[in-house]
Amino acid sequence: MNDILVMALFAFLGAAAAGLLGAGALRLLRRRSLTASVAVVAAVAVGAMLAGTLAVAWAMFLSPHDLSVVTTVVAMAAVVSLATALLLGRSVVARSRALTLAARSFGDGGDFAAPEGPSTAELSALSRELAATSRKLAESRDRERALETSRRELVAWISHDLRTPLAGLRAMSEALEDGVAADPNRYLRQIRTEVERLNGMVGDLFELSRIHAGALALSPSRVSVYDLVGDALAGADPLAREHGVRLIGDRVEQVPVEVDGKEMSRVLGNLLVNAIRRTPADGTVAVAAERSAVGVVLSVTDGCGGIPEEDLPRVFDTGWRGTHARTPPAGAGLGLAIVRGIVEAHRGIAAVRNVPGGCRFEVTLPMAGV
């Protein structure tokens, strides 16, 4: 038993010495290729076995013949181990370089394509993560391009809409200043109307900036959609009369919701104003509020004749007004973007679809207590 302990001690000391040397070599090669590190690990394993064998041979006084046999066997094992380690290291390094080149491609704006061929489980997992990251970057680039396009369109449209009333205000103020206005009171009323329009545009821009910045503070309370719809219809009635459009509250249920009453009134008001302006005279705008499997659905149906299918995904984008909405009364294209922002802040969904004779805007909100 004592001989076994002595052999174990000498074998451990010899292997430990080889391990320390290997650890030092790995530290020196930590910035080099993986192939060198794998080769060092294989050499440490064989060297530890050889060192332990020599230490035991020295302690047990083995014959030179036995020692040479053991040394030869260990040397052959070392050759095979190093060759295997080099092959493994070269394979892993080649796969790593292929991943590096593939990752560089999507970093430069392309798509990531995983290299073909077998690889280790870790490198395969890395390839999957890089592919997922590539998809997210592509989606982010698409969103950024769409947002930039929307911003440019918004700036162009806002500039157009501001130039017209500002030019009118300048002309009317100069006429009043020069005393050539035939009816000063009419000019003053028109100036007030234009100022209110400009004030409304500035208010819409401010509201939209709060939504985009995530600074829209809501004060939700339990209200009935019946009351919300009733107030919205009353507020939009003068505009509807001016345009000769009939307002109808159709299938309005008394369903409770947890919403900010002021902001939700703005949502309904924007939808009604948009529907009234797009509906021809003698047309009808219908408002409904019904329960559904996903919550409460508020809808506004107009008689605009429908929206082209290719434009439906852009209806709620900032600055979108359609191809026929270039005149100032159509607004700056902010109303529907504000609608979507407020609805999503309430954990709801804003959508639009075509119906016979027009289109239907739907706002889905969670019911109170859901």
More confident site: 124 or 221: 221
More confident site: 313 or 88: 313
Strand partners, 297: 290, 364
* Core vs surface per residue 125-141: b (16+ CB within 10 A) or e: ebbeebbeebeebeeee
Contact 275, 306 (CB under 8 A): no
Mean pLDDT value across residues 35-60: 68
Contact 228, 251 (CB under 8 A): no
Mean pLDDT value across residues 49-62: 65
Highest mean pLDDT among 47-51, 91-95, 267-271: 267-271
Q: From the CB of residue 221, how many other CB atoms can be counted at a distance below 10 Å?
A: 11
Task: Give the angle 342-347-349 at the CA atoms, nearest 5°.
Answer: 75
* Residue 60 C-alpha from the chain's centroid: 71
pLDDT at 363 over 90: yes
Tell me which residue of 144, 140, 141, 146 sits closest to 317, measured CA to CA: 146
Residue where the block lists tokens 């910035």: 31
More confident site: 58 or 356: 356
In the β-sheet with 349-355, what is the strand arrangement from edge to edge? 246-252, 284-292, 295-301, 358-365, 349-355
- The dihedral formed by the CA atoms of 152, 279, 339 and 198, expressed in degrees to the nearest 10: 60
Ramachandran sector of residue 119 (left: φ over 0; alpha: ψ -120 to 50; beta: rest): beta
Q: What are the tens digits of pLDDT across the range 287-307?
A: 999 888 888 999 999 998 888
Q: Quote the DSSP letter at residue 367.
A: B
Tell me which residue of 271, 256, 207 sits closest to 369, measured CA to CA: 256
Highest mean pLDDT among 39-48, 179-188, 193-202, 301-310: 301-310
Confidence tier at 29 by pLDDT (50, 70, 90): low
The pLDDT, as a whole number, for residue 329 is 43
Q: Which two tokens stand for residue 206?
A: 């401010």
Q: From the CB of residue 188, how many other CB atoms can be counted at a distance below 10 Å?
A: 13
The whole-angstrom separation of Cα 222 and Cα 343 is 16
In the chain the first and final C-alpha atoms are separated, in Å, by: 75
Summary mean pLDDT of the chain: 77
pLDDT at 331 over 70: no
pLDDT at 252 over 70: yes
